[in-house]
Homo-oligomer: A and B are copies of this chain.
Amino acid sequence: MPQKQEIADWFRTLQKEICTALEKEDGKGKFKEDSWDRPGGGGGHTRVLTGGDVIEKGGVNFSAVHGELPENIKQALDVKGSNFYATGISIVIHPYNPHVPIIHMNTRYFEIDDGTYWFGGGIDLTPHYVNSKQAAHFHKSIKSVCDRHDKTYYPRHKKTADEYFFIKHRNETRGVGGIFFDRMTNSPTTDKKAVFNYVKDVGKLFAPVYTRYMADSKDKPFTDKQKKWQLLRRGRYVEFNLVYDKGTKFGLHTSGRIESILMSLPKMASWEYDFNPEPGSEEEKTLQFLRKDVDWLNLG
């Protein structure tokens, strides 16, 4: 069965591979690495790329932290045990070109000294302009990974993503969704190795899928109006991350490393009072797509 060190090493290697792939596709930008220690135990390596040719601001964060489990977290997680170990990677990429989507991916492993462990993760796509062919490709790619492990994963984890990546006060999904899962552990049908293999396959999906979307759209021309719309959509991304995202909230309220947590925020975002796109415009079409329970597989 995979042990924590093996899992952390695998995540760290994945972080490096993803950064290499993103740099190659970007063609100009290079990630800079900041290594940091966590006062209570462990630390991380935060990698940030800014001012690339395709990527305006992107972060790929790795951490492996451990220590005493605070009482309130113990209660919130409903676990026994006094010490925890947590490792994972977390990625958000904000491109310059509004035709290239924002993407997020996260894989995580958590264990407690009472023997409890679980994996979690997710990947979701936030196009500034929804392209149903691209969304269908994204969901088909994810489904094909899921199906190799368990035919129930895609429908279940897609539904969880629809619920999770939802901006309630706007009544909008963050983007076209993807998958999200948490607290996956051994069960009558899965052992730890099988769950880890699923998480690995989700992680390995990131680079080929996103570099493809970068390549497809990075040279598409765009107008000032489209750039303005991108900044408004990024405003929504900020709203989601600061108001709803569990990882962000957990980090902000437990004195995590703030710069690593908030590297998900875009270089530039915008808010306009009561902005409504013109009827029939591409912007309005995008808004109409930002709904739960869209069957993306059959839209492309």
Contacts and interface: CB of A to CB of B under 8 A. Distances in A.
B258 A170 contact: yes
Give the copy number: 2
Interface residues of A, number: 32
A139 interface: no
A104 to B, nearest CB: 16
Given A235-B265, A242-B238, A268-B231, A274 B34 contact: yes
Interface in A250-274: 252-253, 255, 258-259, 262-263, 265-274
A253 B243 CA distance: 10
Nearest to A48: B273
A163 interface: no
B169 A258 contact: yes
A96 to B, nearest CB: 14
A273 B263 contact: yes
Interface of A: 34, 46, 48, 50, 57, 59, 168-170, 231, 235, 238-239, 242-243, 252-253, 255, 258-259, 262-263, 265-274
30 contacts: A46-B273, A48-B274, A50-B272, A57-B271, A57-B273, A59-B273, A169-B252, A169-B253, A169-B258, A170-B258, A231-B268, A238-B238, A238-B269, A239-B262, A242-B242, A242-B243, A243-B243, A259-B273, A259-B274, A262-B271, A263-B273, A265-B271, A266-B271, A267-B270, A267-B271, A268-B268, A268-B269, A268-B270, A269-B269, A269-B270
